[in-house]
């Protein structure tokens, strides 16, 4: 089965050329036969029931654009009655009694959940190698990583194992794997999509968004899942007024001048910027104060929230437990050391240190001040331009096991982290391949709350590539 878009399959289903049960059966078959390890749990029995219901909606003319469409869900997003592990052995037996708001909206639209996609443990990683269920492989080269933490989602879409998937993005976890796997990954404005039911990594930075084969599909899914949710205290009730169109596109000087940028990526990004200029946009070079410190800001704020959020996984309330231990302290210690991976433990320790007495003011409070200053810098930049463009990642996909050093791995997020810190919408689009055939991603960042405007521009950029 080829890589179909959501729009293509909707037409096929509506016309009766294919039927939903046969379609879902074929996608489940492909997922079972795949050796990419893109899924942790398949939803075979329930998916076929959902497909039968979708057929009835289509026959009665009550179909939504997503009715009967096979989708994956990142395994950090809660699904009622379907195992949700967050890529961790500590949640190996956890079956949520409720749906995340985004899943509820997808189900209401008739989307069919094929299964739960593999991911870095608790979304901590940039390669899906920290998953407790083994690494996912890149469909373009099985010796390479698919990116992370939503690597299973991106690989599944790229390999045609689902038409689209929901991922989550804390520092680039939708956009970076989308870049590595040659698909579209969209991180909405913080608060535009409910986080209720997302197993949190860093609550002030996490955002759910779609991974798709094109921008049009991302638009449909975003429209379905976006909106205020009273269950999420950070959900936006209203948006600021949109700025006037300027026909200007900004580039961040520091990003294109970075020594970390691979020559093939730099060339492809510059070519794409030249195409945008030919399409009638003025290109403006921007100097955004503190953008080079984004990674440092992120790796202070994020671990503090990780340490807080992961405190609940103690072997008492739910998940697995080292029950042979006799004292409560022994139970906590053995459970967390045995069932949490190295990266999760590393970030918990770092977050606990940064937030401890004597260091909170020195590190965390300064990082929060810097975050607010960076947000203002972006706000000032968007007074001058409509969008900011550049590379999604410094390189294309790297080999499995190549970047086991934490600092090397963290540098993969150097271009994606700023949008999370500022809460801005951002999207990654495929713009070609390097000399080894691996995909190259192009990032577009929009102003706060202007997601629809960003998606329209992204579609224009995508069309330039198609018409090249």
Give 258: exposed, middle or buried? Use CB within 10 Å, 0-12, 13-18, 19+: middle
Residue 1 confidence (pLDDT): 47
Asked if 173 is an active-site residue, the reply is yes
Residue 322 confidence (pLDDT): 83
From the candidates 149, 153, 218, 377, give the one annotated as an active-site residue: 149
Residue 292 confidence (pLDDT): 93
Residue 468 confidence (pLDDT): 59
Cis? peptide before 138, omega within 30° of 0 = no
C-alpha 209: how far from chain center: 6
Asked if 74 is an active-site residue, the reply is yes
Residue 431 confidence (pLDDT): 97
From the candidates 10, 74, 187, 403, give the one annotated as an active-site residue: 74
Residue 320 confidence (pLDDT): 86
Asked if 179 is an active-site residue, the reply is no
Residue 266 confidence (pLDDT): 97
Contact between 119 and 152 under an 8 Å Cβ cutoff? The reply is yes
Contact between 315 and 91 under an 8 Å Cβ cutoff? The reply is no
Q: At what angle do helices 366-381 and 294-309 cross, to 10 degrees?
A: 130
Residue 230 confidence (pLDDT): 97
Contact between 36 and 180 under an 8 Å Cβ cutoff? The reply is no
From the candidates 127, 168, 173, 428, give the one annotated as an active-site residue: 173
Residue 467 confidence (pLDDT): 64
Give 355: exposed, middle or buried? Use CB within 10 Å, 0-12, 13-18, 19+: middle
CA pair distance 174, 388, nearest whole angstrom = 18
Q: What secondary structure, in 3-state letters, does the chain show?
A: CCCCCHHHHHHHHHHCCCCHHHHHHHHHHHHHHCCCCCEEEECHHHHHHHHHHHHHHHHCCCCCCCCCCEEEEECCECECCECCCCCCHHHCCCCCCCCCHHHHHHHHCCCEEEEEECCCHHHCCCCCCCCCCCCCCECCECCECCCCCCHHHHHHHHCCCCCEEEEEECCCCCHHHHHHHCCEEEECCCCCECCCCECCCCCCCCEEEEEECCHHHHHHHHHHHECCCCCCCCCCCCCCCCCCCCCEEEEEHHHHCCCCCCHHHHHHHHHHHHHHHHCCCEEEEECCCCHHHHHHHHHHHHHHHHHHHHHHCCCCCCCCCCCCCCCHHHHHHHHHHHHCCHHHHHHHHHHHHHCCCCCHHHHHHHHHHHHHHHHHHHHHHCCCCCEEEEECCCCCCCECCCCCCHHHHHHHHCCCHHHHHHCCCEEEEEEEECCCCCEEEEEEEECCCCHHHHHHHHHHHHHHHHCC
Contact between 220 and 208 under an 8 Å Cβ cutoff? The reply is no
Nearest Cα neighbor of 428 from 205, 206, 181 is: 181
Domain boundaries of the chain, sorted by first residue: 6-225, 248-287+373-408+423-466
Q: What's domain 6-225's superfamily in CATH? A: Amidase signature (AS) domain (3.90.1300.10)
Nearest Cα neighbor of 50 from 110, 122, 90 is: 110
A 10 A CB-CB count for 93 gives 12
Show pLDDT as tens, one digit a residue, over the chain (468 residues). 468 999 999 999 999 999 999 999 999 999 999 999 999 999 999 999 999 999 999 999 999 999 999 999 999 999 999 999 999 999 999 999 999 999 999 999 999 999 999 999 999 999 999 999 999 999 999 999 999 999 999 999 999 999 999 999 999 999 999 999 999 999 999 999 999 999 999 999 999 999 999 999 999 999 999 999 999 999 999 998 887 888 999 999 889 988 889 999 999 999 999 999 999 999 999 999 999 999 999 999 999 999 999 999 988 887 888 877 678 888 888 899 999 999 999 999 999 999 998 889 899 999 999 999 999 999 999 999 999 999 999 999 999 999 988 888 999 999 999 999 999 999 999 999 999 999 999 999 999 999 999 999 999 999 987 665
In this prediction the pTM is 0.96
CA pair distance 226, 167, nearest whole angstrom = 14
Q: How far are the Cα atoms of 178, 190, 292, 308, 405 from residue 418, in angstroms, in the given order?
A: 17, 13, 9, 22, 22
């Amino acid at each position: 089965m080829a890589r179909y878009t959501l729009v293509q399959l909707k037409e096929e289903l509506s016309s009766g050329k294919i039927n939903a049960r046969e379609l879902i059966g074929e996608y489940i078959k492909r997922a079972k036969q795949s050796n990419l390890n893109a899924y942790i749990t398949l939803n075979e029995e329930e998916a076929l029931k959902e497909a039968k219901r979708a057929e009835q909606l289509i026959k009665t003319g009550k179909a939504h654009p997503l009715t009967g469409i096979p989708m994956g869900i990142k395994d950090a997003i809660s699904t009622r009655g379907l195992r949700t592990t967050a890529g961790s052995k500590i949640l190996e037996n956890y079956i949520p009694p409720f749906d995340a708001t985004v899943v509820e909206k997808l189900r209401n639209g008739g989307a069919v959940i094929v299964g739960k996609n593999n991911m870095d443990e608790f979304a901590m990683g940039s390669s899906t190698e920290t998953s407790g269920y083994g690494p996912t492989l890149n469909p373009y080269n099985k010796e390479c990583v698919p990116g992370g933490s939503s690597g299973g989602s991106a690989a599944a879409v790229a390999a045609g194992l689902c038409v689209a998937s929901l991922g989550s993005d804390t520092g680039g976890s939708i956009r970076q794997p989308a870049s590595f796997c040659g698909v579209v990954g969209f991180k909405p404005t913080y608060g535009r999509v409910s986080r209720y039911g997302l197993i949190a990594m860093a609550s002030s930075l996490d955002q759910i968004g779609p991974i798709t084969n094109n921008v049009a599909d991302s638009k449909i899914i975003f429209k379905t899942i976006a909106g205020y949710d009273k269950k999420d205290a950070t959900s936006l009730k209203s948006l600021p007024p949109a700025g006037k169109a300027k026909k200007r596109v900004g580039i961040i000087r520091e990003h294109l001048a970075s020594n970390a940028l691979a020559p093939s990526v730099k060339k492809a990004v510059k070519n794409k910027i030249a195409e945008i200029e030919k399409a009638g946009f003025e290109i403006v070079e921007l100097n955004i104060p503190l953008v080079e410190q984004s990674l440092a800001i992120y790796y202070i704020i994020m671990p503090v929230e990780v340490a807080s959020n992961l405190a609940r996984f103690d072997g008492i309330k739910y998940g697995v437990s080292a029950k042979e231990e006799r004292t409560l302290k022994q139970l906590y210690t053995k459970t967390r050391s045995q069932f949490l991976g190295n990266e999760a433990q590393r970030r918990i320790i770092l977050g606990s240190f940064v937030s401890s007495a004597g260091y909170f003011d020195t590190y965390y409070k300064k990082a929060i001040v810097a975050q607010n200053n960076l947000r203002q810098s972006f706000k000032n930049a968007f007074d001058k331009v409509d969008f900011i463009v550049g590379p999604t990642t410094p390189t294309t996909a790297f080999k499995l096991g190549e970047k086991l050093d934490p600092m090397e791995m963290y540098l993969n997020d150097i271009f994606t982290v700023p949008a999370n810190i500022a809460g801005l919408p951002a999207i990654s689009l495929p713009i070609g391949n390097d000399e080894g055939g691996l995909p190259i991603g192009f990032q577009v960042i929009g102003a706060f709350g202007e997601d629809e405007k960003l998606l329209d521009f992204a579609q224009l950029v995508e069309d330039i590539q198609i018409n090249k």
